[in-house]
A and B are shown apart, each in its own frame.
Chain A
Amino acid sequence: MQLTLEFGGGLELLCESVKVHNVNVDLPKGAEKLTMRDLLSWVRTNLIKERPEMFMKGESVRPGVLVLVNDCDWELSGQLDTTLEEKDVVVFISTLHGG
């Protein structure tokens, strides 16, 4: 599945300073749909090159990281259970820095 992932608020530093990634993610074996849960572990394995604890805590993102799926807060669409479709845009923004 083709997806566009964006990292902001300092998270891009964990992915070699690249803010926008156009990726192709395979569905896990036997699954019909791709969920955010699957995507997160895919990102952790394939895109995060350093300090994974800054991005994820347990199964979900670290508290303080905002997730937008097609410009919509993922808390409205079921958080980890949000299903993704072809060409979706997922944005991760960290809020954990000075203002």
Chain B
Amino acid sequence: MENQLFKPGERIAIGASGGKDSTVLAYVLSELNRRHNYGLDLFLLSVDEGITGYRDDSLETVKRNELQYGLPLKIVSYKDLYGWTMDEIVKMIGLKNNCTFCGVFRRQALDRGAALLKVDKVATGHNADDIAETVLLNILRGDIARLSRCTSITTGEDGPIPRCKPFKYTYEKEIVMYAYFKKLDYFSTECIYSPNAYRGFAREFIKDLERIRPRAILDIIKSGENFRISTSTKMPEQGTCERCGYISSQKWCKACVLLEGLNRGLPKLGIGRSRGLNSDVKKDIKQGGGTESIESKQCGSLDF
């Protein structure tokens, strides 16, 4: 309530992957909407990255959710939007940096799907553990720009479509327990391309911390929120991409850079400290075996 997430009459798209967070989010939002007459128009929005044996199964779960909760479903696919499925992308770039491509493309895909549905906001199932992991990741990589933005419960208000995370303070454990006791139907497998993701290390650490001192998760988020940057630090400015008009802090948005790389057979374009189209150090500090990953969560790990 105090975060003013929604207003009556708004159209909201729920990013739905079929996994535990988005299923619980869809269930809770539709229940509360019904019980308290929020007057919200809810939709399920799902992204098909084209990962056989994984996404096609989880999409079946979302289709069941559509029937179970009575929320209309829209699916957008990488194939339609970009001309590439994740399977094809991985064949070209190998098994490293997969999550970089997927996360960037997914964020845009969600925005485009949201625009097609003409919604006012997108709600995603990111939970407290996710946000704490993101805070840690950004600290480890020295990404100040993202650090200051990633803890906001609503982001992108000046961008295409604002995005909010109602579960920001909800522990992953609570979500799983809720789903278990309410017998909610969800899909639970790791994305087949995720094993080497950098986020995995942050996650292990957070889980070990939780075991010793569970409050640590909320404390990390609180620290992230209270982070202040000196005004003399240079920050990247938000503009628009020259090629597609999407929001970007560089000449070309990340998705266009990556796509260009794919189409020209240059899989490394946009990865690592590139001198390519954007000589851009701040945005891609992804070296070695590390990439940002969301391990198949349905919305990008890092927000604008």
Show the binding face of A for B, using Cβ within 8 Å. Answer: 8-10, 13, 63-64, 66, 68, 71, 73, 91, 93-99
Size category of the B interface is 20 to 34
Q: Are B19 and A98 in contact (CB under 8 A)?
A: yes
A66 to B207, CA, bound (A): 12
Q: Is B191's CB within 8 Å of the partner chain A?
A: yes
Show the binding face of B for A, using Cβ within 8 Å. Answer: 17, 19-23, 125-127, 130, 172-173, 175-177, 180-181, 188-191, 203-204, 207-208, 210-211, 294-298
In the A-B complex, the 9 residue pairs with the closest CB atoms: A99-B21, A98-B296, A63-B207, A99-B19, A10-B188, A98-B19, A64-B207, A9-B188, A99-B20
A64 to B173, CA, bound (A): 8
A71 to B182, CA, bound (A): 12
Q: Are B180 and A8 in contact (CB under 8 A)?
A: yes
B297 is contacted by which of A8, A94, A99 (Cβ under 8 Å)? Answer: A99
Residue of A nearest to B209 (CB): A63
A97 is contacted by which of B22, B177, B211, B295 (Cβ under 8 Å)? Answer: B295
Give the Cβ gap from A90 to chain B, nearest Cβ, in Å.
13
Q: Are B127 and A99 in contact (CB under 8 A)?
A: yes
Q: Are B188 and A97 in contact (CB under 8 A)?
A: yes
A8 to B172, CA, bound (A): 15
Give the Cβ gap from A91 to chain B, nearest Cβ, in Å.
8
A8 to B127, CA, bound (A): 20
Q: Are A99 and B175 in contact (CB under 8 A)?
A: yes
Q: Are A95 and B173 in contact (CB under 8 A)?
A: yes
Q: Are B211 and A66 in contact (CB under 8 A)?
A: no
A95 is contacted by which of B126, B176, B208 (Cβ under 8 Å)? Answer: B176
A20 to B130, CA, bound (A): 30
Residue of B nearest to A94 (CB): B188
Q: Are A97 and B210 in contact (CB under 8 A)?
A: no
Knowing that A98-B297, A99-B20, A99-B175 touch, tell me 4 more A-B residue pairs with CB under 8 angstroms. Answer: A63-B204, A64-B203, A66-B173, A98-B191
A98 to B172, CA, bound (A): 11
* Residues in B neighbouring A64, C-beta threshold 8 A: 203, 207
A98 is contacted by which of B181, B211, B295 (Cβ under 8 Å)? Answer: B295
Give the Cβ gap from A8 to chain B, nearest Cβ, in Å.
7
* Residues in A neighbouring B180, C-beta threshold 8 A: 8, 68, 91, 93
A97 to B207, CA, bound (A): 13
Q: Are B208 and A63 in contact (CB under 8 A)?
A: yes
Give the Cβ gap from A41 to chain B, nearest Cβ, in Å.
19
Q: Are A98 and B17 in contact (CB under 8 A)?
A: yes
